[in-house]
Chains A and B, each alone.
Chain A
Amino acid sequence: MNAAQRLLAAATLAWLAAPAPAQPSGEDLYRTYCAQCHGLQGNGKGINVRDMSVQPRDHTDSKYMAGRTDDELRTAVVEGGQALSKSVLMPPWGSVLEPQEVDALVAYMRELCDCQHGRP
């Protein structure tokens, strides 16, 4: 292996060993994009709600949330409320969030409701 090859190999190893940029947590994503309407506590009481014609979903409502599959939650986040015949006030976040960020948000919503689909 000549010097140039050794340098290339070292650079490749350094690149492989470098930590990938940390993916934001579901909670951080929620507090950035969702809390403006769904509230810091996830209870549907964000700062924007006063003049809304339809109130945002309370994500701590385990009974309601247990009735929703993870795929439905994912669709609501990515495509917005209208994709599920719900309110237009819930916008589509698909252009902002990566698929793994959507998964992190769905997991965080399950933490907020302390529930799984079919298990309140």
Chain B
Amino acid sequence: MKRHIASLVVFLAAAPLWAASGETVLQERCAQCHDLTGPAPSTLEELWTRKGPDLFYAGVKYKPEWMERWLQNPSRIRPAGMFYGKHVRTGPDGQDVIDVASLVEHPRLSPGEAEAVTRVLMAKKATPAPVQEGAYQPGRISLRMGELMFDKFKGCLACHQIEPDYGGLSGPEVYTVTERLREDFLVAYLRDPQAFDPKIFMPNKKLKERDIQKFIHYFRALAQEVKP
């Protein structure tokens, strides 16, 4: 019994140290590129110079298991970077292309750092707009119907990839979005992107609530389909 109590005391004493180390890593390795306090960019200049996603509401946006995994093995989610305008040039034929050399790789964290940083980020919940717990009601849609909605009916494919190397390049890929982001957050964001990010170059298509749900069903189906 004494041994258990001693372990508990050691655990409770060490817990703030772990949290502190996550906070330290966050400040030393993340804060140069990510906004940890908000608010989101309110001018075009702020939008253009943002280097990484805002993290001051990471706890309502991201799935912790994905974040911890991704931080150890980061891959590009936005083919043209955070703001495409910084990473595009016009080729000799007049066609714009991504200037790949201008894109910056995300640092790779050790398993311990990733775990500590994720824990600290999950406590950041200063969301600019309400995210309702349980807003997403799981359901199903066929990939064919989902793609029809995403491409032909709503035109979202213009800016987003639905599989590697297919779709638009200025927005984040959607075939991994439900791996990365909490579905309840997606409901709120798709309803009004500017409520979270006032100057973001994603339009508000005034989606009906049932279409928002269907889109997320589609993203979940895509994630299953594309999984290796």
Interface residues of A (CB under 8 A from B): 21, 24, 28-29, 31-33, 35-37, 39-41, 43, 45-49, 51-53, 80, 87-93, 95-96
Contacts and interface: CB of A to CB of B under 8 A. Distances in A.
B127 to A, nearest CB: 19
B159 A24 contact: no
B204 interface: yes
Contacts of B98: 47
A90 B169 contact: no
B96 A24 contact: no
A35 B169 CA distance: 12
A95 B170 CA distance: 19
23 contacts: A28-B44, A32-B44, A32-B47, A35-B88, A36-B201, A37-B158, A37-B170, A39-B95, A39-B96, A45-B90, A47-B80, A47-B88, A47-B98, A48-B159, A49-B95, A52-B168, A88-B155, A91-B205, A92-B204, A92-B205, A93-B203, A95-B194, A95-B204
Interface residues of B, number: 37
Contact of B158 (A41, A43, A48): A48
A82 to B, nearest CB: 9
Interface string B71-114: 00000000010001100111000111110000000000000000
